[in-house]
Amino acid sequence: MRKGSRSRTHWLIPYAAAGVLSLGLGQRSGAAADDARAWLEKMNQALATRNYDGTFFHLSEGRVETMRIVHRVKAGRVTERLQSLDGSGREFVRNNDELTCYLPDQHTVLVEPRQDHGPFLGSLPRFGADVDEFYLIESLPASRVLGRAARVIAVNPKDQFRFGYRLWLDETTAMPLKTQLCDAHGQVIEQILFARLEMPETIADADLAPAVHTEGMRWVRQGPSTEPPAAALSAYRASELPPGFHLTVSGAQTLGGASVPAAHLVYSDGLATVSVFVEPEATGKASTADTPSAPPEPPMEGLARVGSGFAFSTVVQGHQVTAVGEVPAQTVEFIAHSVKSFASPPR
């Protein structure tokens, strides 16, 4: 998969604004903004390099999920486990090589290779001043979370095409004890609130082992495809983008259960990221004459909520186009609707 100049960072660090805290010094950097950035850098380092074991609430639309995160750095290897404690029983376990998603309620285990071999700190994205054009970073009055003194940092979007963040960072460890996802008006969309956070010197293997019994479960592998997408798919690009977004990755992705790779495009403004998948054909075509008894799977069209983000699907010239991201609905709509095929792909 071809990537842009900016390398991606570690994943599965919950509510860690790895991207947020990698913001470079920009034109607007006053002393307060510099201080805020320095705290974000501290948070980034803590999240990537420390051991921690915590339980947090994930609040969205009045719903609460209780989850546990365990993160261990041992001999240069990072292992993480994210576990739902009160709902689905789902778990993610990630090591340097792959991510495994246990979905006991769907009797499925989803596995995807992950290529994050480099040290986390070495692979952090470094953003230039261009991010300042779309986000304003500032320090807010200090507060308390979990009985601890906390620095409060806000990353405010300057328009309606992206979300912002507020982070409550532990004064001692710089760990994010509380984070909020906000819209351009400061309205809270989703928040994460730690109820327990420990940072032990060592973490036992048992704490990183999934609790799910996988007997009888279906194992599905997906990931970047070694085969390039068909030429017809490679020709698709967004013809226009919201301000600040640019193409950072283009490649092929095998989606769960698919026999042919889809084209995968990634657009980013430095913090917010949108993936666009272009699949070989709208699936509604497949099941008519040959399999009259099988219920047709209709092509997808429309908007779906994905946590605090959105997915928008449409059909373009017979191909299924889906934009997904932690961005407002209008951003995925904007991008999905602008996707079109270019006979000669742009270089």
Q: Which of 38, 73, 184, 230 binds other proteins (CB under 8 A)?
A: 184
Hey, what amino acid is at 124? Answer: L
- Tell me how far, at minimum, the Cβ of 215 lies from other proteins, in Å: 19
CA-CA distance, 220 to 45, in Å (whole number)?
Answer: 33
Rounded to the nearest 10 degrees, how much is the dihedral formed by the CA atoms of 210, 214, 219, 222? -10
Nearer to other proteins, 132 or 190 (CB): 190
> How many amino acids of this chain bind other proteins (CB under 8 A)?
129
Beta carbon nearer to other proteins, 75 or 141 = 141
List the one residue out of 334, 292, 299, 341 whose CA is nearest residue 320: 299
- Selected binder of other proteins within 145, 212, 217, 232 (CB under 8 A): 145
- Contacts (CB under 8 A) with other proteins, residues 278-317: 297-298, 300-311, 313
Which of 53, 91, 132, 170 binds other proteins (CB under 8 A)? It is 91
Using CB under 8 A, which residues numbered 31 to 70 contact other proteins?
55, 57-59, 61-67
Nearer to other proteins, 99 or 174 (CB): 99
Q: According to CB under 8 A, which residues from 92 to 121 bind other proteins?
A: 92, 99, 101, 103, 105-106, 110, 112, 114
Q: Residue 112: is it exposed, middle or buried by C-beta count within 10 angstroms (0-12/13-18/19+)?
A: middle
Whether 331 and 346 have beta carbons less than 8 Å apart is answered as no
Q: Determine, following the binding rule CB under 8 A, whether residue 275 of this chain makes contact with other proteins.
A: yes
Nearest approach, Cβ of residue 203 and other proteins (Å): 19
Minimum Å gap between C-beta 98 and other proteins is 11
In this chain, which of 242, 250, 278, 280 binds other proteins, going by CB under 8 A?
242
State the nearest-atom distance from the C-beta of 103 to other proteins, in Å: 8
Instruction: For residues 126 and 20, give the distance between their C-alpha atoms in angstroms, rounded to a whole number.
Output: 10
Going 15 to 19 to 20 to 21, the CA torsion angle's sign is: positive
Q: Min. distance of Cβ 269 from other proteins in angstroms?
A: 9
Instruction: Tell the residue number behind the tokens 């710089």, with chain if given.
Output: 174
Which residues have a Cβ under 8 Å from the Cβ of 169 and sit 6 or more positions away? 39, 40, 42, 43, 150, 151, 152, 153, 175, 176, 177
